[in-house]
């Protein structure tokens, strides 16, 4: 990032950047709505609360059972999606490790949703940090 851009970003009154930021957030939110599923309940909560997600292929796949993300029946489960309590915020009574056995759609969409959600907050965080730095001089 060049320093001109950063110094422009620091000008919080500049409506140009406010608008750009809002536009980016809107795009990310709408993409999240597209990839997310209304059938996700606890799974969505975990995707949003936990910054790190790990996945592992289930081999051989588990055939025709209930997906633990969307809770629909008769899915072929192909991935374990794991969250670790150390990476999670604001989820009460969380076991050390939480695991979902999910079908391929929920696995792909879940990981995309996770990226979108955390990209947004990481971007906000890193901009906020960069903007805050000069003020501490």
- Among 50, 67, 81, 116, the residue binding Zn ion under the rule CB under 5 A is 67
Q: Which is nearer to Zn ion, 26 or 42 (CB)?
A: 42
For the bound state, the minimum distance from the C-beta of residue 50 to Zn ion, rounded and expressed in Å, comes to: 18
Smallest distance from Zn ion to CB 29, Å: 22
Q: Which two tokens stand for residue 129?
A: 């940090």
Interface segment toward Zn ion; rule CB under 5 A; list 25-33, 69-77, 79-87, 127-135: 69-77
Map the footprint of Zn ion across residues 85-124, applying CB under 5 A. 103, 106
Please choose, from the candidates 96, 84, 99, 104, the residue with its C-alpha nearest in 3D space to the C-alpha of residue 42: 99
Give DSSP secondary structure letters for 12-63.
TT-HHHHHHHHHHHHHHHHHHHHHS-TT-SHHHHHHHHBS-EEEEEEEEEEE
Size of the site for Zn ion (CB under 5 A): 5
In angstroms, the CA 11 to CA 14 distance is 6
Return the half-sphere exposure (C-beta side, CA atoms, 13 A cut-off) of residue 41: 6
Does 36 sit near Zn ion (CB under 5 A)? no
Establish if 77 lies at the interface with Zn ion (CB under 5 A): no
What's the min distance (Å) between Cβ of 80 and Zn ion? 13
53 has which bridge partners? 83
Residues at the site binding Zn ion, with contacts judged by CB under 5 A: 67, 69-70, 103, 106
């Amino acid at each position: 990032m060049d320093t001109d851009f950063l110094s422009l970003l620091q000008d919080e009154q500049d409506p140009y950047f406010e608008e750009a930021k809002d536009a980016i957030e809107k795009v990310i939110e709408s993409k999240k709505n597209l990839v997310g599923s209304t059938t996700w309940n606890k799974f969505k909560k975990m995707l949003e609360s936990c910054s790190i997600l790990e996945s592992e292929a289930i081999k051989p796949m588990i055939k025709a059972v209930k997906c633990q993300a969307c809770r629909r029946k008769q899915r072929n489960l192909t991935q374990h999606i794991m969250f670790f309590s150390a990476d999670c915020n604001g989820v009460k009574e969380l076991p050390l490790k939480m695991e979902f056995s999910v079908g391929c759609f929920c696995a792909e969409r879940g990981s995309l949703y996770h990226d979108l959600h955390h990209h947004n907050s990481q971007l906000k965080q890193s901009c906020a940090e960069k903007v805050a730095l000069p003020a501490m001089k």
